[in-house]
Each structure stands twice: as C-alpha cells, then as structure tokens.
Amino acid sequence: MKENLPKKQIVMFGGSFNPPLNSHFLLAQQIINEYSEIEKILFMPVNSKYQKADLISNMHRYEMLKLVCNKNEKFEVSKLEIESSRPLYTIETLTKLQKEYLEYEIAFIIGSDNLKQIDTWKTPEKLVQNFKIYVLQRAEDNIEEIIQNNKFLKKHEQAFIKVENKIKTNLSSTFVRESIKNGKSIKYLAPEEVISYIEKNKLYK
C-alpha cells in the first residue's frame, strides 16, 4: 500500500488529549519514522462542546499540545475544531484542512476500534474515497480480519494503511487524571512540559 502514497502528506491525529500523554507523541513519531512521505502530524484536539466526561477547556488542552509540538518540527497543533461553533464531523474537518493545505494530501489516524465503526460515520463513502486512513492496530484486533469481514471496508480496502502498533501500552488519559486527583506522580507518563503546565494551572484536581 505504501508505494501508491503521494510524496507529501499532512496527517491529522485527532483526540481529546485530556491530557496529552507520552504515548500520543510516541505513536505520532513512530508513524513519521515509518512513512517518509509524511511531512507533518497535525494534532487536532476535539472541541469541549463535544460531550465527554471530565473534558477540560479547549485552551488548556491546546496549550499543553503546543508546548510539546513547538519542540518537534514534524508536529503541529490545530485550532480548527476548538474554534468551531459546534462539534465538527471528521469529514468536515478533513475537507477544511484540504482547502487549507492545497499542496498536500490530507490523511488521518484512527485506531482499529474506530475502523469497525467507520461505516456509521458521516458520509463514509466520501471519507474513504477522498482521504487515506492510517489504522493503528490495537489490543487483540486484527485489521485484515476486520476489513475482510465488513462489506464496506472490503470495498474500500485501498483507503486503509495498516500501521503495526509498536508502542504497546494500555495507558489511558483517564488513568492519568485519576492519578493526579489522588495526588500520585505522573512522571514518565506525560511530557515534562505537560506535567509542569498541569501543576501550574492546578488541573484535574
């Protein structure tokens, strides 16, 4: 599948990043290392209008991402979704990015858990026809089996790029937030810049 990819891509990595963890950045760097056509990973924090438990403000999550992205020329953080007046569908975000970065092909990252549900997303046909999708294999999932057992996914198999998840971790942002609430150290779980920002702003207490 790699051979058919364009020379220059910007790949969107969406998520809550509540807070951003070392594992997020490790995965992003792994993908950059494996695919030379990727010019940049664009971190896209979801809007706080999105109904999710314990989701702190857009500003704090953006600033934490920015602290880390500023130190890596291949990382960038976008305000596109957090500045929207309403939560955006993935297809809307990607289409806006494509208009902004005309000289690049836009792609995005999902986990194999989301791959199973992508045919239920907004305009899934348009999504897979217009954008390449990097799929991170998670837990006991087998991406090939998921695709072969789903009529929609099998039809659009060429849209999916299987990424072997070499960063084996079950670490979740929920676990990190609970650790902070309980007064436990999160050293080595998140970048030092993020930890300092959380402490300075007394987040997740």
Contact (Cβ atoms closer than 8 angstroms) between residue 168 and residue 178: no
Range of the domain at 131: 2-169
Q: What is the mean pLDDT of residues 90-111?
A: 96
Does a structural domain hold residue 185? no
Q: What is the mean pLDDT of residues 15-38?
A: 94
Does a structural domain hold residue 140? yes
Does a structural domain hold residue 198? no
pLDDT of residue 52: 78
Does a structural domain hold residue 139? yes
Does a structural domain hold residue 205? no
Contact (Cβ atoms closer than 8 angstroms) between residue 11 and residue 107: yes
Does a structural domain hold residue 180? no
pLDDT of residue 131: 96
pLDDT of residue 204: 96
pLDDT digits (tens, 9 = 90+) for 54-95: 899 999 999 999 999 999 999 999 999 999 999 999 999 999
Round to whole Å and give the CA distance between 190 and 177. 11
Does a structural domain hold residue 108? yes
Does a structural domain hold residue 112? yes
Across the chain, mean pLDDT equals 92
Using alpha carbons only, give the angle 78, 83, 87 rounded to the nearest 5 degrees. Answer: 100
Number of folded domains that form the chain: 1
pTM metric for this prediction: 0.92
Q: Is the pLDDT of residue 101 over 80?
A: yes
Q: Which of 105, 88, 70 is nearest to 14 (CA)?
A: 88
Q: Is the pLDDT of residue 3 over 60?
A: no
Q: What is the mean pLDDT of residues 129-158?
A: 93
Q: What's the CATH number where 156 sits? A: 3.40.50.620
